[in-house]
Every structure is written in C-alpha cells, then in structure tokens.
Amino acid sequence: MRANNINGEIKIFNTLPSTWNGKKHYMGGFASSPVEVLEEEGFYEVVDPQYDHATEELGELYLEDNKYYYKVIQKTWPETLAQLKENKINHLQEHTNSLLLATDWYYIRKLDRNIDVPQEVEDQRAIILNNHNDHETAISALTKKADVVKYEFN
C-alpha cells in the first residue's frame, strides 16, 4: 500500500494506477514502475502500524524518511472507571448465564420431579460459578480504564 500527498491531502492507494500524470506522464504500466519512479512521483510506502485495537486508534498519516506512518492515538472513554467495571461485570454475568443455561434443566427437573442432578453437572456448574467469581474479583480490582476495556473472560 502506498500513499501520495495530492493537493495537500494524503490519498491512500491500495492499488496503484496504471496511468499517472505527475512530474512525468505515464500512459500505462505506472503501477509496475520501480520504487524510485514511484517515490519520484510522491508515492511512498504506508507502514502498517502495530497498535492495540482495544485501547488505541489510528490518526492521520504523516511522512517521515520517505515512508508514511499513522499517528497512534490513545483512546479515551466517556464512562467513569466504575461504569466501565459495571458494564464489564454485566457482560460477565451474561456470559456466565449462557454457560449455565445448558444445565439449568437439571435443576428444574429436580424441583419438578425430585430427580437428582448428576454430580458431573454440579461440578461443571461449580467451576463456572467459581470462574465467574474470580473474574468479577479481578475486574473489581482494576484501576485503569484501559485495563477494564482490555479484560477478557472468555
């Protein structure tokens, strides 16, 4: 991928044009021109940025040392730390409920017909609930918004 500053606006080219009218006029084959020709016409490589999608976002492109780079900007969240934690814990609760749903019928059957719940089902649910408690404790202990946003429990 290359970019070119055209009339003060940086335009990204996923595919280079086959014709180009710049410093010189190219009627065909411009896309397969040597790097030196492309750069002479202002087409410079766009460096693929390494960034954390959860906590950072891409800003404007800038040219440095004959390469275009994206500014990487730290995201901000309008929610308070407490609100982000509450939202994350709500998602955790939804996740836990979805895991428990598969075995809920055993407990309904126990209430309705007094048929025992198999031990492996009780053990499975205990693990799910313990994991839920561990994650909720971990989320509650977080002190930075970015850490809450990045926290994963799946």
Domain boundaries defined on the chain: 2-74, 81-150
pLDDT > 90? residue 118: yes
pLDDT in tens, 46-77: 999 999 999 999 999 999 999 999 999 999 99
Non-local (6+) Cβ contacts of 73 within 8 A are: 56, 57, 58, 59
Interatomic CA distance for residues 53 and 55, integer angstroms: 6
98-107 long-range Cβ contacts below 8 angstroms, 24+ apart: 99/128, 100/125, 100/128, 100/129
Interatomic CA distance for residues 48 and 72, integer angstroms: 11
User: What integer is the mean pLDDT of 120-145?
Assistant: 98
User: What integer is the mean pLDDT of 79-104?
Assistant: 98
Please give the pLDDT value at position 97: 97
Q: What is the mean pLDDT of the chain?
A: 96
pLDDT in tens, 12-45: 999 999 999 999 999 989 999 999 999 999 999 9
Kindly report the pTM of this predicted structure.
0.71
Instruction: Kindly state the DSSP code that residue 23 receives in the 8-state scheme.
Output: S
Give the SS3 label for residue 33: coil
pLDDT > 90? residue 3: yes
Interatomic CA distance for residues 87 and 75, integer angstroms: 17
pLDDT > 90? residue 154: no
H or E stretch at 105? helix 104-113
User: What integer is the mean pLDDT of 92-112?
Assistant: 97
Interatomic CA distance for residues 104 and 108, integer angstroms: 6
Non-local (6+) Cβ contacts of 51 within 8 A are: 57, 58, 72
Structure tokens at 91: 């998602």
